[in-house]
Structures are given as structure tokens and as C-alpha cells.
Amino acid sequence: MSMPGSVIATYLIESYLPLEQAAQVLAGEQSTGTFVAVARETAELKERFAASVADVRPLPPADGEPLPGTSGGSTGATLNRGEVRICFPLENFGPSLPNLLAAVGGNLFELRQLAAIRLLDLDLPPEFAERYPGPRFGVRGTRELMGVPDGVMIGTIVKPSVGLPLDELRTVVRELAEARIDFIKDDELMANPPYSPLAERVRVVTEELNRVADATGHRPMYAFNITDDIDRLAANHDLVARAGGTCVMVCVHLVGLAGVAYLRARCDLPIHGHRAMTGLFTRAPRLGIDFVAFQKLARLAGVDHLHTNGLASKFYETDDEVLRSINAVREPLLGGYETLPVLSSGQWAGVAPLTYARTGTADLLVLAGGGIHGHPDGVLAGVRSMREAWAATVAGEDLAARARAVPELRHAIDAFGPVRA
């Protein structure tokens, strides 16, 4: 937990300096210190404003090259590795997400004394809860708007991601809605291009959703990607809301935490948070910002849904790493901040047993792109294969047994298998 009036940041560091000394360098650089003593860095000023080392935990050395430009790596030098916890006085920056990142990130990734530096986690004081209201809808509000009171929420992404003419988009949306899917979203590559302007896409999509709803009573939630310059976010949201839309999507890293918070303050719809560019911060194990730390900031900023990657995915993360991300999003933050984990990337019906066994929850939005659009019998069969797989899994039924009675599931396994358990 953080100390009163402070933020505690946990880092993985490596250095040729003793760990305690390296941690002191980090704390000084990110608060009152610099590379030399200066006249006005008084004892009184440091007592009030200096970041302090709260804990140092040595770890075994790791294989790999130190970061470029690391100092102290003479022949035979020992590279020390460990977790350090640094306490930052809240008075230095206040409950502001951009300025918090300046303190706990800032220039420290450039320090020559650090051969590795990764922000692992943040313990935040209640002042952030007073400043940032967080998700407005979360899991429960999303279920209510979707009309899905329980069970896994099944969704997809419009495919192909880009280049689809509006008349073909209309057909895709109609087919998915008639298949009674719960959720559809734009791809993160699709925002407001000349061939498919946001205003026209909203018109086409909502016309089809309304037409299907009038005929069947079922209307999927559709997340329109409104990622844009900050001064366009409110207008883009209003465009969707006026048309009767029920969700907007932003790429959190691309509009920034301040952009998400700006949208949240003006938003009447759930915010679907995409994590595009997360690998830039997370993929190198010796550098960056861990997803566990990032997801807290995204939730504070106000996302109702947050992509975590999915198990057995096409991306680099291991299943254990993905599970850690899912669990982090589900963990209460400052007493609340309920956000829905979104699983995507290589998802199909046969991943249901593995996902449910590892997560132990149905409070998930599972997005199958190719697993639905690439089903050999079409999107209706793709949606049914997902529903049947999850129904069988939650009921404790063997997927192969269910597949013998459900051709759509059997054909999905034939096309995409084997089943992951």
C-alpha cells in the first residue's frame, strides 16, 4: 500500500552499481536531485520533496545485454539485479495522471547507471480516486446495455480490418447481428478514413442494427473507433450518441491518458479501451512499463473495457503473462474501478476450455475475429461455435462431446483445432 500522501512505484532494475545506490540515483533523478549537488537542494527541501527508497530486494542475475549506453560495465564487473520500491511525495505532482508519469517514468529510462529499468506496479493514494471517477459502466453496466445478464460476452471485430466498402460493411453488420452476437467493434486501424468516414459508418451500422433489432428484438453493442486528436473526441462521441450508438472505442496509448480522461468527463457511452502499441512498452523484459502498472492508469482515466490479449493468442505473451493481465484488470482498484477484460487475438471456440479453466470467470468479453469470420460455414456458424463452446465449457461438458451434436462447433475444431484445455 502507498504511504499517506505518496505514490509507491515498484521497478525492476539492473545496474553495475550496488542496488541501493542505483535506487538512490533513480529516486534523486525523479525528484529533487541531478547529476551534481546544487546550492538550493537544501536538507529542508529534500526532507519535504525528495523521493525515497522504500525497499530493495535483490534478485538473481538475468541473461542478456545491458541497455545501450550503460555505464560501469568494465571487464569482470557484476551486474546487480533487483526490485526496488520508490516512494514519491504526492505533493510533487498532485493527483494528475500525466504528471504522475513524469515522476515515475520521466527521464529514468535514459539513466546511464541503469542497465535495465521497468516500471512494474504503482500503489496510488486515495487522492487519485477523488480526481478521477473511472469507468462509468464497467462489467455490470455493459451487461445491462448489452442485455447479457450472465455468461461470457461473445464479440468480434469487423473484418477485413480496413478497405471494406460501406455497402459490404452493411452486409457484415447485418449478418453478425442476425447471428445474435453480443458485441461488434471497429478495428483499431479503422477510424475516420476518406473511403469510410466515421459519420457515414455510424449511419450505415446503426441503420442495420436498428433494422435487425426491429425484426428480432436483438441489438448488439457496437464500438465505433473514435480515436482522433483530443479536440475531436467529444464531437466524435456525440456523433455516435446522437445516432443511438451504445459504445465508443479509443486506443488508449494513442490519445493518451489525458485524452481518455477528457472523453470520460464528456461521455455518455461505455468506453472500449484498446491497447494498441502496448508491446512498445511491455515486450522488452528489461525496459518499459508493465501492463499491470498501465492498466491501473487506464482504469483511472475511465475505460469501461480494456484489452488484455487472450490465451493461446497469436502475440508474443505467454498464457501466464496474459492471465496476469486479466487478473490485474479484475482486481479492485482504490475500492472500485470495475473494468471488463477484453480477450482477443487468435481466439476461437476451441480456446474456451483453457480460458475458463485459467480465469475461473465468465465476466469476460471474448472477441473472435478470424474465429468467426473465418469459419468455413460463415459468420452465423462462427458465432454459434463460440456460444456452444462456452456453454459446454461452463457446464463442465467435454467439447468433443458437444461437437458431435453441433456441426458448427465440429467444423470449427476441424478448421482451427486442436482444442486448448
Domain boundaries of the chain, sorted by first residue: 6-131, 138-416
Walk along the chain (421 residues) in steps of 10 and give the mean pLDDT of each run.
78 97 94 73 83 97 91 87 97 96 95 97 97 98 97 97 96 98 98 96 98 97 98 98 98 98 97 97 96 98 98 96 98 97 97 98 98 98 98 97 98 97 88
Cβ count near 259 (within 10 Å):
21
Q: For residue 66, what are the contacts with CB-CB under 8 A and spacing of at least 6?
A: 14, 73, 79, 115, 116, 286
Note the pLDDT of residue 1.
Answer: 46
Note the pLDDT of residue 3.
Answer: 53
Query: What whole-number distance in Å separates Cα of residue 387 and Cα of residue 393?
Result: 10
Note the pLDDT of residue 45.
Answer: 82
Residue pair 187/162 in contact (Cβ under 8 Å)? The answer is yes
Q: Which CATH class is domain 138-416?
A: alpha beta
| Amino acid of residue 65 | E
Query: What whole-number distance in Å separates Cα of residue 262 and Cα of residue 273?
Result: 14
Query: What whole-number distance in Å separates Cα of residue 50 and Cα of residue 104?
Result: 13
- Reading phi first (left if > 0) and then psi (alpha if -120 to 50, else beta), residue 218 is in beta
Q: For residue 146, what are the contacts with CB-CB under 8 A and spacing of at least 6?
A: 153, 182, 183, 220, 221
**Three-state SS sequence of the chain:** CCCCCEEEEEEEEEECCCHHHHHHHHHHHCCCCCCCCCCCCCHHHHHHHCCEEEEEEEECCCCCCCCCCCCCCCCCCCCEEEEEEEEEEHHHCCCCHHHHHHHHCCCHHHCCCCCEEEEEEEECCCHHHHHCCCCCCHHHHHHHHHCCCCCCEEEEECCCCCCCCHHHHHHHHHHHHHCCCCEEECCCCCCCCCCCCHHHHHHHHHHHHHHHHHHHCCCCEEEEECCCCHHHHHHHHHHHHHCCCCEEEEEHHHHHHHHHHHHHHCCCCCEEEECCCHHHHHCCCCEEECHHHHHHHHHHHCCCEEECCCCCCCCCCCHHHHHHHHHHHHCCECCECCCEEEECCCCCHHHHHHHHHHHCCCCCEEECCHHHHCCCCCHHHHHHHHHHHHHHHHCCCCHHHHHHHCHHHHHHHHHHCCCCC
Residue pair 359/344 in contact (Cβ under 8 Å)? The answer is no
Query: What whole-number distance in Å separates Cα of residue 136 and Cα of residue 144?
Result: 13
CATH 3.30.70.150, domain 6-131, yes or no: yes
Cα 273–Cα 274–Cα 277 angle in degrees, nearest 5: 135
Identify the sign of the CA torsion 225, 380, 177, 359. negative
List pLDDT tens digits, range 282-323.
Answer: 999 999 999 999 999 999 999 999 999 999 999 999 999 999
Q: For residue 46, what are the contacts with CB-CB under 8 A and spacing of at least 6?
A: 32
Before 135, cis peptide (omega within 30)?
Answer: no
pTM for this entry:
0.95
